[in-house]
Amino acid sequence: MTTAQRGGRVLLSAPDVGELEQELVGAAIRSGWIAPLGPMVDQFEERVAARCGRRSAVALSSGTAALHLALLQAGARPRTAVVIPTLTFAATANAAVYTGAEPVFVDCDPESGTLDPDLLERALDTLQAAGTEVAAVVPVDLLGRCADYTRIGPVCERAGVPVVSDAAESLGAQHAGRPAGSFGVTAALSFNGNKIMTTSGGGMLLTDDPAIADRARYLSTQARRPAVHYEHTEIGYNYRLSNVLAALGLAQLERLDAMIGRRRALRAAYAQVFDRVPGVRIFQRTGDEDDNCWLTAVVVDPAEAGWCAEDLRAALDVADIECRPLWKPMHAQPVFAGSRAFLDGTADRLFGTGLALPSGSSLAPDQVETVLSAIGTFLGRHR
């Protein structure tokens, strides 16, 4: 029985675990490799690196930890800036703050919700003209759609700024024939409980530079020097993934394509329900053949539809179905009030009109039917 099937409420994106996960976690426990690191961590790193087309991977305790270490190695520190799309989860910005750098927010493309390359170019020109050292640009792969690295890469190259890819939401997706996680000097994955695949908590740093990988491993194990006693010459972090959780990840990775397929089928079902509904579109539907369909969302024009995204969310909540608005933009978050930002209003509009629907691969057929029926009832009342 999956997590999504245990309770009465239909969740947005519950973990999808089964017998294979139980088998490999049990094997890890029986092996005696309970504490951090072990043979399954090594296997997990190798297989994720291969899946993402990278030379090296470092398994960590979270995607946030991966971003933090990646930004440190990019040179983020006090009196530098890190450029981040405003439409993202707080972890992207928080990781920059951990380094002492200033997060600077940039608006997004209206169709994909990912970093707008034209606004990015304007932001980099403005910051550098003002004498601000930009340590990195962090494009975010949103809801399973890769950012437009084809355009972002040359913009950053001309500015002499490295790319750190936040691929927390996009494992299994592609852009321009390349897998998510293969872009940037470094990339960060997340295996949080609600992601496309999970290790309960966890993440991974990806890179083609062995020196960056070695440095990340060193910092993630409390920067312990190779001595028979505990020797430390700099500050490190307790960021490594455990062998038991890596076992869970190995099972999930084996099932990843099937889980993506179920999410894609669910998106197609939503598209059929909302087909020809005035003022409503499936967000990111155009070009989604390369996406992993982690979350399916609708964008609602209230003037045309006669109802708003919040009306649908409230109705589904009464039916015990979890939905969520798109990310509240970082520039609108109280904790980042007053931060520098380059905006055109797109992220604010998407936050106000977008709604993510239950998208988990663990949804049982009767749960899917419950969600689709509830949406149909709502649309019938507002037709």
Per-residue pLDDT tens over the stretch 267-303: 999 999 999 999 999 999 999 999 999 999 999 999 9
Per-residue pLDDT tens over the stretch 145-180: 999 999 999 999 999 999 999 999 999 999 999 999
Q: How far apart are CA 26 and CA 33, in angstroms?
A: 11
Structural domains of the chain, ranges and CATH numbers in brackets: 17-253 (3.40.640.10), 256-381 (3.90.1150.10)
Q: How far apart are CA 148 and CA 227, in angstroms?
A: 45
| DSSP 8-state code for residue 330 | G
pLDDT mean across residues, the chain: 96
Question: What number is the average pLDDT over the span 184-206?
Answer: 97
User: What is the amino acid identity at position 64?
Assistant: T
Question: Looking at residue 228, what is its pLDDT?
Answer: 87
β-strands 80-85, 133-137: how paired? parallel
Question: Looking at residue 7, what is its pLDDT?
Answer: 56
Question: Is residue 227 predicted with pLDDT exceeding 90?
Answer: no
Q: Is 27 exposed, middle or buried (0-12, 13-18, 19+ CB in 10 A)?
A: middle
- Predicted model pTM: 0.95
Confidence grade of residue 86 (pLDDT, cut at 50, 70, 90): very high
Question: What number is the average pLDDT over the span 247-260?
Answer: 98
